[in-house]
């Protein structure tokens, strides 16, 4: 090495990158040059010159100029060249040209100690392989000789070269060097001695150089730590090291070195190497020793990370052991069957029972692993030396909970102990948790759901869980509630027990109530007064709920609440016997769904929880409540009263058009359900229609219809929405079969009045014609006798047994609708489609009259009052108006209207042909159609 380079030997590591690259390049060139000369000398059988050139090459490793990264590259290049020399020594030994003892003494004549020791290690490896001397003596000599290099960086790499050279030459179990060459204890002593010196050198690096470069040296130590850890990895890979040796000799000596070094980085890294480098089943047996050592570490050591890694490894070990139990049981059963076959006895048909749900139980219970870890986690959380922040202490509880769930899946009491310890920890914490602590605590609260197979009831049954839940703020409880709700809907947990559902709803309170600003509750339900009061109290929070409508989280929460309503009363499916690892034991039999009365009770509980939410939230969450109640109304009259109470409480008024439309539809659905649940009245004898309607009969269906009309009148203000609502009301009324006559007439008159008050004439025309269907609807099918009339009413073919037939009212409705159509603008033919729709309505009424025309007595006379002349007049008027707008209107629109008119009249002719095909039946009906066709100028056939 040149004098200029020698003068820079003591330069610090803080050289700039360009200088580092140049120094590394110069050293690499020297290594290549001397390696070439060494190989030439070896080829020429000149061993002394070869050793001289090799020593010069190794002298490049004496530099202090290079950073650890660059020094490592130089070290790799140099030791690669040493392999050539090692191979030459092996050939010398195999050819018996030179004894290994002679070579071993020859290389010690090198002038500098570092090249001398590298050569000595190289020859020592071949010496051990030749077995000319016991391996333990050579190993002991080498590890002691390496003490001559105390420079931290050079000594670390020298001892790493020693470990790499001798790793396959240790007197280990199954090795050719065991026996005369030594025992497993000798191999352990060698590795431990080398590890101890490497650890001291590694720790000493932090004290080299000026204080201002301490951070840089710590970074360099991080880069060099794998050299030290490789020694522990080699200890863990020794075949002869078993649990007794590990517990009694190896682990105490390693832990002694860890505690004695008093360096934060070294203690943390070495404990992590112990946890990763040795089997977890050994850690299970020496758990208390490891945990006691963690209390003796330096204050700055991250004990939490050590415990988390240790618990994760033990849990993985428990899961692995449990997964092998079924395979072991099958193998035992097969062995028993084979033994039985050999003995001539019948083989056992069932294997030993395996507790698949109890992962780890019986694997870790023998040492009380959970209780040990729980106690030490509690000590670390409050220890001043550990200095844990609240979020870190909660993270430790999260790791402990994960360990309890994975290693003791069926032991829910252990999970509850973790929650109890967490609650105690929170009791010492500040009132307001920071954001990180809140996130960690949220994970703690939902962690068991995956292990319990999405059984939310199993989680909520833990007594200490609720206490931890109340320690977080509203937003965190809201997030937990969403996870619990998803699990309850996704899992197989039954929803039939009132106490379980109550606990579930308690946990879901933030989800059901909404944000604090939107918690304006409705007044108590149960009558018109309560409904009116509720309508007065809901407007205060409308603005807040309008903001909620645009929130994706709120939309999801409403959807979850609605799905929970639909899941009430759900039973549980029977599960197969083999449960997944870590999951709770499934129910042995299926849980049947709840009875209608029990489901109604659950609905009442759910409604009480939902009523404290904001008004807009209620308008959506109460929809499935009402629908579930209407489903139950088929078998439970009380459910219909419940639906009525809910509608009066939540939908007497509405704060938005969307809410009004939703409430209006629910009122009409309840009306249909009430009509279906009401027994049909007895069919009275035929009597003339009264001159004026009787007072409506007070009943639940009538109240429901009145509530729908009240909502229509007060809350639905848009003209098109009003028209659609009137059509929907008329269709619902038309579908009812069991209304009393007086109530039916009163509601029909109200529908006519609402139709007449529509703002747009285009809406008045079709809406005004449809109320005519109400008084004429029952004329569709009529029997010829009182007995058949009662049968038709019972089967739902009429409004009631007596019938509501008022041809005069039909004509009045059609006349008003025609007047409204004629009042529309005729410039673009806008009124013609309205007239065509009126024609279709009139043809329907004619069909109803034709069906009843042959009935004897007054029925036939009143049906005959529906003259075909009215229909013909509408048809001719529509044709005239169509011809008038043909020159100015769009040709395609005119063509479509002409097709509509022709199809309507063709339908009348086809109807007449169908009646004529049944000779002897419907002569009066034929006369009606003949008169119509003659009036419009269409041939009969």
Using CA atoms, how far apart are residues 621 and 565, in angstroms rounded to an integer? 8
Using CA atoms, how far apart are residues 119 and 58, in angstroms rounded to an integer? 9
Q: Which of 368-382, 436-450, 735-749 has the lowest mean pLDDT?
A: 735-749
Band the pLDDT of 693: cuts 50, 70, 90.
Answer: very low
pTM equals 0.73
- The tokens for 283 are 């850690």
487-498 pLDDT, tens digit each: 998 877 788 888
The residue among 633, 683, 679, 643 whose CA lies nearest residue 663 is: 643
Higher-pLDDT residue of 862, 792: 862
Using CA atoms, how far apart are residues 193 and 635, in angstroms rounded to an integer? 85
Instruction: Find out whether 423 and 397 touch, Cβ atoms under 8 Å.
Output: no
Looking at residue 292, its pLDDT comes to 92
Using CA atoms, how far apart are residues 773 and 817, in angstroms rounded to an integer? 13
Using CA atoms, how far apart are residues 139 and 908, in angstroms rounded to an integer? 114
Which burial class, exposed, middle or buried, applies to 262 when counting CB atoms under 10 A from its CB (0-12, 13-18, 19+)?
A: exposed
Looking at residue 299, its pLDDT comes to 86
Close Cβ partners of 47 (under 8 Å, ≥ 6 residues apart): 41, 106
Percent of the chain scoring above 70 in pLDDT: 76
Higher-pLDDT residue of 670, 3: 670
Instruction: Find out whether 324 and 286 touch, Cβ atoms under 8 Å.
Output: no
CA angle 771–774–778, rounded 5-degree value = 155
Band the pLDDT of 814: cuts 50, 70, 90.
Answer: confident
Looking at residue 856, its pLDDT comes to 55
Has residue 786 got a pLDDT over 70?
A: no
Looking at residue 125, its pLDDT comes to 92
85-131 pLDDT, tens digit each: 999 888 877 776 678 888 888 888 888 899 999 999 999 999 999 88
489-546 pLDDT, tens digit each: 887 778 888 899 999 999 999 988 877 654 544 443 333 333 333 333 333 334 344 4
B/e letters for 677-705, b = 16+ CB within 10 Å, e = fewer, are bbebbebeeeeebeeebeebeebbbbbbb
The residue among 156, 147, 261 whose CA lies nearest residue 201 is: 156
167-183 pLDDT, tens digit each: 999 998 888 988 888 89
The residue among 658, 669, 567 whose CA lies nearest residue 615 is: 658
In degrees rounded to 5, what are phi and psi of residue 330?
Answer: -65, -40
474-483 pLDDT, tens digit each: 999 999 999 9
Has residue 349 got a pLDDT over 90?
A: no
Has residue 356 got a pLDDT over 60?
A: no
Instruction: Find out whether 791 and 783 touch, Cβ atoms under 8 Å.
Output: yes
635-647 pLDDT, tens digit each: 888 999 999 998 8
Percent of the chain scoring above 90 in pLDDT: 30
Has residue 884 got a pLDDT over 60?
A: yes
Using CA atoms, how far apart are residues 58 and 149, in angstroms rounded to an integer? 14
Close Cβ partners of 859 (under 8 Å, ≥ 6 residues apart): 686, 782, 803, 805, 852
Using CA atoms, how far apart are residues 565 and 591, in angstroms rounded to an integer? 18
Band the pLDDT of 689: cuts 50, 70, 90.
Answer: very low
31-59 pLDDT, tens digit each: 999 999 999 999 998 988 999 999 999 99
Higher-pLDDT residue of 794, 183: 183
């Amino acid at each position: 090495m040149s004098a200029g380079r020698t003068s820079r030997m003591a330069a610090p590591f803080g050289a700039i990158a360009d200088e580092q690259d140049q120094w590394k390049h110069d050293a690499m060139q020297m290594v290549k040059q001397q390696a070439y000369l060494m190989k030439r000398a070896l080829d020429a059988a000149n061993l002394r010159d070869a050793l001289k050139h090799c020593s010069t090459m190794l002298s490049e490793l004496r530099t202090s100029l290079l950073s650890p990264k660059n020094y490592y590259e130089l070290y790799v290049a140099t030791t690669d060249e040493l392999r050539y020399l090692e191979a030459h020594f092996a050939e010398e030994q195999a050819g018996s040209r030179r004894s290994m003892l002679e070579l071993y003494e020859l290389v010690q004549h090198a002038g500098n100690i570092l090249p001398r020791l590298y050569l000595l290690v190289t020859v020592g490896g071949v010496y051990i392989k030749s077995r000319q001397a016991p391996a333990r003596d050579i190993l002991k000599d080498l590890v002691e000789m390496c003490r001559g290099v105390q420079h931290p960086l050079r000594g670390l790499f020298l001892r790493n070269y020693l470990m790499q050279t001798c790793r396959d030459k240790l007197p280990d179990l199954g090795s050719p060097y065991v026996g005369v060459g030594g025992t497993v204890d000798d191999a352990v002593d060698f590795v431990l001695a080398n590890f101890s010196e490497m650890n001291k050198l590694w720790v000493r690096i932090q004290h080299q150089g000026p204080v201002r470069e301490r951070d840089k040296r710590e970074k360099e130590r991080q880069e060099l730590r794998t050299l030290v850890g490789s020694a522990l990895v080699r200890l863990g890979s020794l075949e002869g090291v078993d649990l007794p040796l590990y517990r009694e000799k190896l682990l105490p000596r390693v832990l002694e070195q860890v505690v004695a070094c008093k360096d934060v980085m070294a203690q943390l890294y070495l404990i992590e190497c112990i946890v990763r480098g040795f089997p977890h089943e050994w850690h299970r047996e020496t758990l208390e020793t490891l945990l006691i050592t963690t209390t003796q570490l330096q204050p700055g050591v991250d004990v939490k990370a050590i415990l988390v890694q240790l618990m994760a490894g033990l849990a993985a070990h428990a899961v692995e052991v449990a997964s092998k139990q079924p395979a072991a049981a099958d193998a035992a059963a097969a062995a028993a069957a084979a033994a039985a076959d050999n003995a001539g006895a019948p083989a056992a048909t069932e294997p030993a029972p395996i507790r698949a749900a109890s992962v780890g139980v019986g694997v870790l219970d023998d040492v009380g692993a959970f209780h040990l870890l729980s106690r030490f986690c509690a000590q670390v959380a409050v220890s001043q030396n550990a200095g844990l922040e609240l979020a870190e202490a909660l993270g430790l509880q999260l790791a402990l909970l994960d360990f309890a769930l994975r290693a003791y899946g069926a032991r829910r009491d252990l999970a509850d102990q973790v929650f109890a310890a967490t609650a105690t920890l929170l009791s010492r914490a500040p009132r307001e948790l920071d954001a990180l602590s809140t996130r960690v605590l949220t994970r703690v609260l939902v962690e068991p759901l995956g292990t319990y197979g999405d059984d939310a009831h199993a989680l909520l049954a833990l007594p200490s869980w609720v206490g931890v839940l109340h320690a977080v703020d509203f937003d965190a409880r809201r997030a937990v509630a969403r996870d619990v709700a998803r699990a309850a809907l996704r899992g197989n947990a039954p929803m039939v027990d009132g106490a379980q559902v109550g606990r579930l709803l308690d946990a879901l309170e933030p989800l059901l109530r909404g944000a604090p600003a939107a918690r304006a509750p409705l007044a108590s339900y149960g009558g018109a007064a309560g409904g009116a009061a509720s309508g007065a109290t809901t407007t205060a929070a409308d603005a807040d709920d309008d903001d909620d409508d645009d929130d994706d989280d709120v939309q999801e929460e409403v959807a979850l609440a609605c799905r929970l309503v639909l899941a009430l009363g759900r039973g549980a499916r029977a599960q197969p016997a083999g449960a997944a690892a870590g999951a709770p034991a499934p129910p042995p039999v299926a849980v049947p769904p709840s009875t209608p009365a029990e489901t109604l009770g659950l609905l009442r509980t759910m409604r009480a929880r939902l009523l404290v939410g904001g008004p807009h939230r209620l308008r959506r969450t109460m929809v499935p409540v009402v629908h579930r109640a209407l489903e139950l109304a088929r078998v439970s009259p009380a459910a219909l009263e419940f639906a009525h109470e809910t509608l009066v409480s939540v939908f007497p008024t509405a704060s938005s058009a969307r809410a009004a439309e939703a409430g209006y539809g629910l009122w009409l659905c309840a009306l249909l359900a009430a009509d279906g649940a009401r027994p049909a009245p007895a069919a009275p004898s035929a009597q003339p229609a009264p001159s004026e309607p009787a007072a409506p009969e007070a009943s639940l269906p009538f109240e429901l219809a009145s509530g729908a009309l009240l909502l229509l009148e007060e809350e639905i203000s848009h003209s098109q929405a009003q028209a659609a609502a009137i059509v929907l009301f008329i269709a619902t009324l038309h579908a009812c079969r069991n209304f009393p006559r007086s109530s039916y007439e009163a509601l029909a008159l109200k529908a006519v009045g609402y139709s007449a008050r529509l703002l747009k004439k285009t809406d008045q025309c079709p809406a005004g014609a449809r109320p005519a269907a109400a008084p004429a609807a029952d004329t569709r099918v009529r029997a010829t006798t009182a007995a058949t009339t009662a049968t038709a009413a019972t089967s739902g073919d009429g409004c009631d047994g007596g019938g509501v037939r008022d041809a005069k009212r039909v004509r009045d409705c059609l006349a008003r609708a025609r007047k409204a159509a004629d009042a529309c603008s005729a410039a673009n033919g806008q009124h013609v489609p309205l007239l065509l729709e009126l024609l279709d309505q009139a043809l329907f009424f004619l069909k109803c009259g034709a069906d009843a025309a042959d009935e004897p007595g007054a029925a036939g006379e009143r049906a005959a009052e529906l003259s075909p002349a009215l229909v013909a007049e509408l048809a001719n008027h529509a044709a005239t108006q169509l011809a008038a707008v043909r020159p100015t209107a769009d040709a395609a629109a005119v063509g479509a209207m002409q097709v509509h008119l022709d199809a309507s009249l063709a339908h009348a002719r086809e109807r007449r042909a169908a009646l004529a095909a049944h000779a002897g039946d419907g002569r009066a009906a034929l006369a009606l159609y003949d008169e119509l066709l003659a009036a419009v100028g269409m041939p009969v056939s």
